């Protein structure tokens, strides 16, 4: 099998980015490290392909996009928006799905470097982001964070205002007469999860409603887990009169549990989701939900990255897109 830049990096005991700097003669590399890399290149008979050789001092017109779940409708819309915009600028996009797995994210970032992309977009997992801090420090490959911010990492980012979305969803339920509002959310401590929980709590505090731990259930982000969580809420001595779900898929799981228990939506239980996936309006009881401008996020992220590729020294840009509450039958007033 043909040797790759990853093989060279492993033999020399350095990062792929360092090998890339030697191959392209860009950036500072110590003489001893350079010698190790050149020796590994010789031993492995590694030869950059013609595409890679053409990149010396030039742009590849390839862009990367790293997402956490390409099957999620909101991510799919973002992917399409990025590709629709970048093709107009003469770019091709290489997309990698990490499936929320840290090792796959590490490999995806390495792949972006190995394939000499001009830059990439990434929705980070946030387990351990040391590789992104290092990449920022080295400064060879620009990247833009999408959907999730990383505290302390000063790079371009395009985000949704998750705090506002959750706040408005909770406030809507309060305004329609609910005082015991459950929240089914994720157990993962990522930026979006933390921001939405903060928005939920802020709306309760503003209305002088007590935050009750028993009403907040943290689970896996899937319909089956939401189904089980809803059944737990229904077993409470004083059960809630409304449920706010972290996303629309989880709201569908809640709907199944409520229907099986003979709980009518919204007569017995109001329900609000998040994302406004295309199916939300076609459910038996159309779902009230928070709509995120997902297509706009993809377009804005691509534009920010293109600007960064053209100007590496420009100021860090942070774009915050605003959600909107879409009120449907599932949360009609009590």
pLDDT tens digits for range 113-149: 877 789 999 999 877 889 999 899 888 889 999 999 9
Q: Which domain holds residue 285?
A: 162-292+325-331
Domain tally, the chain:
2
Residues 6+ apart with CB under 8 A from 77: 294, 295, 298
305: left (phi over 0), alpha (psi -120 to 50) or beta: alpha
- Whole-number pLDDT of residue 51: 44
Average pLDDT, the chain: 90
Tell me what percent of the residues of the chain surpass a pLDDT of 70. 94
End-of-domain residue from the set 58, 87, 102: 58
Distance, in Å, from the CA atom of 154 to the CA atom of 136, rounded to the nearest integer, reads 8
84 found inside a domain: no
Distance, in Å, from the CA atom of 196 to the CA atom of 200, rounded to the nearest integer, reads 6
173 found inside a domain: yes
Task: Determine the average pLDDT of the residues in 245-261.
Answer: 96
- Whole-number pLDDT of residue 225: 95
- Distance set, CA 282 to CA 273, 277, 279 (Å): 14, 10, 5
267 found inside a domain: yes
Same domain, residue pair 287 and 167: yes
- Whole-number pLDDT of residue 111: 87
Strands 92-97 and 62-67: what pairing?
parallel
pLDDT of 44 above 90: no
Same domain, residue pair 52 and 166: no
Distance, in Å, from the CA atom of 224 to the CA atom of 243, rounded to the nearest integer, reads 16
Task: Determine the average pLDDT of the residues in 56-72.
Answer: 81
DSSP category for residue 317: -
195 found inside a domain: yes
Task: Determine the average pLDDT of the residues in 158-180.
Answer: 97
The CATH number given to whatever domain includes residue 269 is: 3.40.50.2300
> Tokens 């090998």 correspond to what residue?
19
Task: Determine the average pLDDT of the residues in 205-210.
Answer: 96
Same domain, residue pair 54 and 171: no
pLDDT of 241 above 90: yes
pLDDT of 279 above 70: yes
The CATH number given to whatever domain includes residue 48 is: 1.10.260.40
Q: Which residues of 234-271 are buried (b: 16+ CB within 10 A; e: fewer)?
A: beeeebbbbbbbbbbbbbbbbbebbeeeebebbeebbb
End-of-domain residue from the set 41, 58, 75: 58
pLDDT of 240 above 50: yes
pTM of this structure:
0.81
């Amino acid at each position: 099998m043909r040797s790759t830049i990853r093989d060279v990096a492993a033999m020399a005991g350095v990062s792929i980015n360092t090998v890339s700097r030697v191959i392209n003669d860009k950036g500072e590399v110590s003489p001893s490290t350079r010698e190790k890399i050149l020796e590994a290149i010789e031993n492995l008979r590694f030869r950059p392909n013609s595409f890679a050789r053409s990149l010396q001092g030039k742009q590849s017109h390839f862009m990367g996009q790293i997402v956490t779940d390409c099957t999620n409708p909101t991510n799919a819309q973002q992917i399409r928006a990025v590709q629709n915009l970048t093709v107009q600028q003469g770019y091709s996009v290489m997309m990698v799905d990490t499936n929320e797995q840290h090792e796959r994210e590490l490999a995806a970032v390495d792949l972006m470097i190995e394939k000499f992309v001009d830059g990439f977009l990434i929705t980070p997992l946030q387990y351990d982001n040391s590789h992104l801090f290092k990449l920022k420090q080295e400064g060879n490959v620009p990247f833009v964070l999408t959907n999730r911010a990383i505290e302390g990492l000063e790079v371009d980012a395009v985000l949704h205002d998750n705090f506002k979305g959750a706040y408005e969803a909770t406030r809507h339920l309060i305004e329609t007469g609910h005082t015991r509002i459950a929240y089914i959310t994720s157990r993962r401590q990522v930026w979006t999860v933390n921001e939405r929980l903060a928005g939920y709590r802020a709306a309760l505090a503003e209305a002088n409603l007590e935050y009750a731990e028993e009403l907040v259930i943290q689970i896996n982000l899937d319909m089956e887990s939401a189904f089980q969580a809803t059944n737990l809420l229904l077993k409470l001595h004083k059960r809630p009169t409304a449920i706010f779900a972290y996303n629309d898929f989880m709201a569908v799981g809640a709907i199944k549990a409520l229907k099986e228990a003979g709980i009518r939506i919204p007569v017995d239980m109001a329900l609000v989701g998040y994302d406004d996936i295309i199916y939300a309006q076609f459910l038996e009881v159309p779902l009230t939900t928070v709509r995120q401008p997902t297509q706009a996020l993809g377009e804005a992220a691509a534009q920010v990255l293109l600007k960064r590729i053209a100007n590496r020294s420009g100021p860090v840009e942070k774009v915050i897109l605003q959600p909107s509450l879409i009120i449907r039958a599932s949360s009609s007033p009590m």
